[in-house]
Structure formats: structure tokens, C-alpha cells
Structure 1
Amino acid sequence: MLVLSRRIGESVVVGDNIAITILEVRGDIVRVGIDAPRDVKVHRAELLAELEQTNKQAASPTDDIVASLRESLARRKNS
């Protein structure tokens, strides 16, 4: 990991077409601006982790859902 110190208004360039600029510093909060082409996805890490967890939960059926599906299938067979 590259670690840099930057002041407000200073930037870091990643590759040929991504610029990360420090916009504001207030206490322990830093506002960062990212200038990147539209085809480059930029996401906050915590949102990606949350999305991944949500997707895993959605893909893993709970016991209630499985039981409900079994009941529905059993009723269809008996109809």
C-alpha cells in the first residue's frame, strides 16, 4: 500500500485518467473528490461489504422459506 500525505487542493493520479483530490479536512473527516471515466466504478468499501452480505443472505434460503416451499409443493401434489 502506498501511503501519502496531501494537503487541501493536492491530488494523486492513478493510472492515466483517475485523479483523487483532497477537498476538505475537518477534524478527522476528509472529503475526497475522485475524477474518473464513467466506465470506472468507484464505490465506498463499506457499501460493497454490505452489498456482498445482503447478496449472500438473499442467496441462502432460510428454514422458514424452505418449509413454506415444501408445503406449497405438497399441496400441489395433493390437488
Structure 2
Amino acid sequence: MLVLSRKVNEKIVIDGGIVVTVVKIEGGQVRLGIEAPSHVKIFREEIAGKMHEDRPAGAVLVGV
């Protein structure tokens, strides 16, 4: 795992096509803006985990 320190309005670029921007830091919360190509699926971890639990046995989940 790569751990980075960023301030508000600072960005990181992933694979040249995904940009993550720190939008706001307040209390214990960090708000992130994510720009990515439309074919890239973006899910919060708890939603992605739920999608894996809900799929039928043997089904393949693509894009998570």
C-alpha cells in the first residue's frame, strides 16, 4: 500500500487517467473528488463488498 500526504486541492494521478483530488478536510472526514474514464467503475468498499455477497454462486463480477 502506498500512503501519501495531501492537502486540500492537491491531487494524485493513477495510471495517467484517474485523478483523485482532496476536496475538503473537516474533523475526521476527508472528501475526495475522483475523475476517471467512463468505463472505470468506482465503488465504496462497503458497496463493492455487498455486491460480491449478493451475486449468485459461480457468477463473475467485472469492473469492481
TM range (shorter): 0.7 to 0.9
Q: TM-score, normalised by structure 2?
A: 0.81
- Aligned pairs for 1:21-60 (under 5 A) are 21-55=21-55, 59=57
Percentage identity across paired residues of the two chains: 39
Bigger fraction of residues in helix? 1
Say which structure, 1 or 2, has more relative contact order (CA 8 Å, 6+ apart).
2
Q: Which runs of 4+ in 1 moved over 4 A?
A: none
Structure 1: unaligned runs, 5 residues or longer: 60-79
Please, what is the CA RMSD of the aligned residues?
A: 1.2
Structure 2: unaligned runs, 5 residues or longer: 58-64
Q: TM-score, normalised by structure 1?
A: 0.66
Q: Which has the larger radius of gyration?
A: 1
